[in-house]
Chains A and B, each alone.
Chain A
Amino acid sequence: MTVLRSKLDTGSEAYAENLAAMQTMWDEVAAALESVPAIGGQRYVDRHHKRGKMLVRERIEALIDPYTPFLELSPLAAWGTDDPVGAGVANGIGIVNGTEVAITGSDMTYKGGSANPATLDKGSRFNEIVTRNRLPLIGLTESAGADLTRQADIFVRGGGGFKRLTQLSKEGIPTISAVFGPSTAGGAYNPGMSEYTVFVEGRARAYLGGPPLVKMAIDEDVDEETLGGAEMHSRVSGLSDYLATDEMDALRMVRDIVGHLNWNKRGPGPSEMPDDPLYDPAELMGSASADVKVPFDVREILARTLDGSRFEEFKPLYGDKLVCGWGSICGFPVGILGNNGILFSEESNKGAQFIQLCNRTNTPLVFFQNITGFMVGTAAEQGGIIKNGAKLINAVSNSEVPHFVMMVGASYGAGNYGMSGRAYDPRFIFSWPNHRIAVMGPKQLAGVMEIIARSSAAAKGREIDEEELAGQSAFLEAAVEDQSTALFATGRVWDDGIIHPADTRVVLGMAISVAHGAEVKGATEFGTWRH
């Protein structure tokens, strides 16, 4: 297989500028990430510790195998919203007893671990990942239930979470719930709908209605332990399968449960040599253009991501703005699609063909998105850009091999769809800090609106207030710019997280490994092709 030769000049001024700009953007992301574990405030963290309880991420650290990685998903969900950054829940994938598992746990330091609308968005995406990749699910449960002040935004759709728990079980995907504290009302259904439950003695409590509600409803005086304590559920109701002495004991029991699951992944697993790329992945910090309008060669990313920098390029002389080819990441064979410019008809046709080929060979696809859109203009339209673009979107939509998307620059317009954007169900989608996403570039969007305003005024015979129009355009451009950033996107769970560019290879490696939990099989049928 051909080995990619990097042309990146790491001593150049452009590289230094890109590196500095990327570092600045990453620093902002890193600061946001750092704020998450104590988002509820130090006072609440201290109070939690003082009660002898572990924070949710401390529980995860103690649960997973020593020295193993942990990939947290949507860690910055709710960024830029009124809800807490991270949405008050830690979701991620780790290794427990040698098995890849999904772990979710509420952050008790923020409003007692109660759910907010962002929690649901984050949970909904997490559930897609758990289901599609067949990940055994471990819930570290401790929740005050719904944030009652937000109940209207939560109650109705929130019920879906419990439905999905039992559906996972039906699919043969194990669900384990370890209860560390009060799990009231809806929270009680977390253990209730799980296959295995572990209750911490003297701490875990589960009831549909707490003592005040019981008093209100049936005028019964009862204490919490009698009503829903761990002992009661272990000895009387049978809701608890395992009674743990303390938090660590509960985590030990969860590890033991995972140990007996006899879990086998359904994918074929890695088959290629997983040697390191020839070029240092750290150089990815300076390989992408700081300004998404300046193009860069996606092969520089591939040279720092693929095993041994090996890449067998498909149709290099045709539709060269879409780089397609085969390689492997951490031993997993993949087909790659990466943008080296705008999508023309040739690029669309090439991409559609490539996706079909990869489906024939059950080869997962990795998309490196840096796309400003499909070509416009008379020549493009007459050349059939719509029907050809439709072919690409048809192929992406109906492809059944796992898709992985790395947002390494722009993602504007229908290019987002053609490159398997969030709405096209990629198994995993991660962004670099320089990522920008919108229906079109902010400048173009403002310009388009300006042209429309001018023609509308002209039709009505009205004078244009140039100053006001310029102000409106600038405001719009700035607003779209703000709503296009990687942080804005990740805050809305449009991706599964922003990663450090140098981590691209290992994050993809972990993601592909997880996707091999389910069968890796390509589609044989697609929608009708418009030729």
Chain B
Amino acid sequence: MEKLLIANRGEIVVRIARTARRMGMDTVGVFAEPDSNALHVDSVDEAVALGGSTPAESYLRGDLIVDAARCAGADAIHPGYGFLAENADFAASVIAAGITWVGPTPEQISLLGDKVAAKEAAVAAGVPTAPVWPVAPGSIPADITFPALVKAAAGGGGRGMRVVESAAELFDAIDSASREAESAFGDGTVFVEPYITHSRHIEVQIMGDSHGNVIHLGERDCSVQRRNQKVIEESPAPKLDSELRRILLDGAISLARHVGYQNAGTVEFLVGADGFVNFLEVNTRLQVEHPVTEMVTGLDLVELQLRVAGGEELPLEQSDVRLTGHAVEVRVVAEDPARGWIPSSGEITAFEFPLELRVDSGVRSGSVISGDYDSLLAKAIAHGQSREQAIASLAKGLKSSVVGGVQTNVAATIAVLQEHDFASGSASISYLDDHPEVLQAGPDAPDRLRGFAAAVMVDQIRDRASDHQWGFVAAGWRNLRTQGQRSVWLDQSGTEWHAELITQRDGTLDLMVGSWPTPSDDGSMSPDGRIRLRLRLLGTDPAEGLTPRTIALEVDGLRTVHSVIVSARSDTESSIVIGSPFGQTTWLAKTRFEDHESAAVGAGPVSPLPGTVIAVHVGIGDQVIEGEALMVVEAMKMEHQILAATAATVTEVRFSTGDKVEAGDLLISLEARIDDSGQE
């Protein structure tokens, strides 16, 4: 094998190409049109255009990929994971074309890809497997114990899967799961198996060659999942007693031997709290989470795959496999955990991870995330002598990461890593359902303050850069100073933040946050109780220009890096969204000058950002109470609840659902209502 075509996209292409190049192989990539300048295309020596923009038009087109391999002179194809990785027909067509297939044989893929057949093989190999109730078309199996799980025989990824609590729900669950499986995989066959609540997802990495050798590379615990998709994986599995571990490892090897398994594969199990083990399925490919196994074994799984695919014997025996320390991986995805993991799309404006983490990534600053593909941005992996150390190191690394432009799950994963149940090693697949609070993880008060400092600095930098007369002078320079540069901002909740920024002659800046002293009735000034931050601009990327993508600041001696997700400026409005690993903070600068015309039609909440009205909860004449939701504006991929500041009567609803609104637009006119106590 001299030239390897990698039939995939994103991080796994970059990952596979790295090993292939190290082994001296030429690499060939493929790409759909939206990926023509993607990182994965740059990571290979040459790349072949597949055309099309959706997966069905490109990465799922086996015929085009085999043609591409022929055309580029590739003598091997690595399918990565997903797309055609577990497509037996594709594997067969590759082999038929005289090209080496990096993966198990088409027969093995076919056998293990059918979950019912795989279960039968597992039973035959003596692997602990719960009984399966097959579902014949038009019939309902009897004697089922609940809760139970309806599953598609083909496919995976949680699709065509239903948890059933009672017999009453069974028919509908089978019906809908079957329909979903039919549309997703072209095969509506479903079956029923026992559902083990609060079980853990533990899987065994296996590796076989064409000479009959099979070894395992330890297990992984992938229990932290959302909608059956893994979020955090680790190796070895925590709190797994040695007897249970032996059962899993032996079972995996036994099944692999039984089918004569070749190349890399994963045998997945569910393990109940009581030690009940149920074989789930075999994934006949390299897994997304393979890095944690690499980190604890010191092996390069892609190298092993390529060598056995080329006909070599496995270079090591089971007794040579040594596990060292503990590794934990987080999947960084462009999704918003706080809003049901809805995908977030847009251009990545900043993308930085600290060097101490292993980061397998397929994107970079400037990459565009679209809804057409998987939301995985990167895998961040830490290795430590102990599990505690690995977790701490990963959390630390994630805290200093910067991903701008899209919503991510970084804040939520940091919260998981620091949460007690996870830390103690007792997370089950219900973990995220049991701990909804981690999904709401966001910036705390000090984070928000730093985010505010970053927003004020970005505002200042942008305004100075647009001063075509005296742009060479520091912000707010005075030879006779009476006050600093004052601005008033609204945060996401509509709370006012007052800023006063003073540039010192040494280039540092004092930022005072809080209401500035105002004259009281007797004319004297109120006491100054503001928070004072000493800021130093350490750098921006790019170094010059109107809108930095990232800003590095020293805040009271502490270096912090923020991404600038949005920086919009009009004549009167300025809105800035600052990103940090703890989440985003949104800041809307209030104009210095009141709009007396709009004051004439009424006062009320204004739109915090340019966006679209997605819901209107009130109508003219409605009596609203303080804090009542009036409207929802979607902006910057976030839903902003527009709340009533005080008890009031709605006098005008200025926008309807679907309307575009600008930052600062008066959304609803309210007339403050005097309640019975005479208070406003």
Interface set of A (CB-CB < 8 Å, partner B): 33, 36-37, 45-47, 49-50, 55, 57-58, 61-62, 65-72, 75, 95, 98-100, 245, 248-249, 251-252, 255, 274, 282, 330-331, 497, 499-500, 502-503, 506-507, 509-510, 513
User: Looking across the interface, which residue of chain A has its beta carbon closest to that of B476?
Assistant: A67
Cα A45 to Cα B479 with chains together (Å): 21
Cα A316 to Cα B501 with chains together (Å): 45
Task: Report B500-517 CB contacts with A as 1/0, cut-off 8 Å.
Answer: 010001100000000000
- B470: chain A residues at CB < 8 Å are 68-69, 95, 100, 509-510, 513
A37 adjacent to B523 (CB under 8 Å): no
Q: Which of A55, A95, A330 makes the CB contact (< 8 A) with B467?
A: A95
User: Looking across the interface, which residue of chain A has its beta carbon closest to that of B466?
Assistant: A98
B594 interfacial contact with A, CB 8 Å: yes
B522 adjacent to A33 (CB under 8 Å): no
- A57: chain B residues at CB < 8 Å are 480, 482-483
B463 interfacial contact with A, CB 8 Å: yes
Q: Which of A45, A75, A282 makes the CB contact (< 8 A) with B480?
A: A75
B472 adjacent to A499 (CB under 8 Å): no
A66 adjacent to B472 (CB under 8 Å): no
B485 interfacial contact with A, CB 8 Å: yes
- A50: chain B residues at CB < 8 Å are 519, 521-523
How many residue-residue contacts, CB under 8 A, span A and B?
108
- A75: chain B residues at CB < 8 Å are 479-480
A69 adjacent to B480 (CB under 8 Å): no
- B679: chain A residues at CB < 8 Å are none
Cα A36 to Cα B593 with chains together (Å): 27
B464 interfacial contact with A, CB 8 Å: yes
B460 interfacial contact with A, CB 8 Å: yes
**B96 shortest CB reach to chain A, Å:** 64
A65 adjacent to B478 (CB under 8 Å): no
Give the size of the chain B interface in residues (CB under 8 angstroms): 35
Cα A358 to Cα B10 with chains together (Å): 62
**A47 shortest CB reach to chain B, Å:** 6
A70 adjacent to B593 (CB under 8 Å): no
**B264 shortest CB reach to chain A, Å:** 56
Chain B 558-612 residues near chain A, CB threshold 8 A: 592-594, 596
User: Looking across the interface, which residue of chain B has its beta carbon closest to that of A517?
Assistant: B469
**A115 shortest CB reach to chain B, Å:** 20
A500 adjacent to B505 (CB under 8 Å): yes
- B467: chain A residues at CB < 8 Å are 65, 67-68, 95, 98
**B568 shortest CB reach to chain A, Å:** 15
- B483: chain A residues at CB < 8 Å are 57-58, 61
With A46-B522, A68-B470 in contact, is A37–B463 under 8 Å at CB?
no
Cα A431 to Cα B556 with chains together (Å): 35
Cα A513 to Cα B522 with chains together (Å): 44
B487 interfacial contact with A, CB 8 Å: yes
With A67-B485, A509-B472 in contact, is A49–B480 under 8 Å at CB?
no
Task: Report B455-499 CB contacts with A as 1/0, cut-off 8 Å.
Answer: 000011001101111101111111110110111000000000000
User: Looking across the interface, which residue of chain A has its beta carbon closest to that of B589?
Assistant: A66
Cα A500 to Cα B594 with chains together (Å): 37
A497 adjacent to B522 (CB under 8 Å): no
Cα A274 to Cα B593 with chains together (Å): 34
**A307 shortest CB reach to chain B, Å:** 10
- A68: chain B residues at CB < 8 Å are 463, 467, 470, 473, 476
- A330: chain B residues at CB < 8 Å are 472
B475 adjacent to A67 (CB under 8 Å): yes
Cα A499 to Cα B475 with chains together (Å): 17
- A497: chain B residues at CB < 8 Å are 479
- A503: chain B residues at CB < 8 Å are 477, 479, 505
**B402 shortest CB reach to chain A, Å:** 25
Cα A37 to Cα B463 with chains together (Å): 27
- A509: chain B residues at CB < 8 Å are 470, 472-473
Cα A282 to Cα B476 with chains together (Å): 18
- B460: chain A residues at CB < 8 Å are 67
A506 adjacent to B596 (CB under 8 Å): no
Q: Which of B476, B523, B594 makes the CB contact (< 8 A) with A49?
A: B523
B480 adjacent to A502 (CB under 8 Å): no
B524 interfacial contact with A, CB 8 Å: yes
- B464: chain A residues at CB < 8 Å are 67
Chain B 288-317 residues near chain A, CB threshold 8 A: none
Cα A284 to Cα B354 with chains together (Å): 40
- A506: chain B residues at CB < 8 Å are 472-474, 477
User: Looking across the interface, which residue of chain B has its beta carbon closest to that of A252?
Assistant: B593
Nearest 6 interchain pairs by C-beta: A46-B523, A69-B477, A49-B519, A252-B593, A50-B523, A69-B473
List 18 additional contacts besides A37-B482, A99-B469; criterion CB under 8 Å.
Answer: A33-B480, A37-B480, A50-B519, A50-B523, A58-B482, A66-B592, A67-B459, A67-B501, A68-B470, A68-B473, A72-B478, A72-B479, A100-B469, A249-B593, A249-B596, A252-B593, A500-B479, A503-B477
User: Looking across the interface, which residue of chain B has its beta carbon closest to that of A500?
Assistant: B505
- B506: chain A residues at CB < 8 Å are 282
A499 adjacent to B463 (CB under 8 Å): no
With A46-B519, A66-B485, A248-B593 in contact, is A274–B468 under 8 Å at CB?
no
With A502-B505, A509-B470 in contact, is A72–B480 under 8 Å at CB?
yes
- B505: chain A residues at CB < 8 Å are 282, 500, 502-503
User: Looking across the interface, which residue of chain B has its beta carbon closest to that of A70?
Assistant: B478
Show 20 A/B contacts (Cβ-Cβ < 8 Å), sorted by A: A47-B523, A57-B480, A57-B482, A62-B592, A66-B463, A66-B487, A69-B476, A70-B477, A71-B479, A100-B470, A248-B594, A249-B593, A252-B593, A255-B593, A506-B472, A506-B473, A506-B474, A506-B477, A509-B473, A513-B469
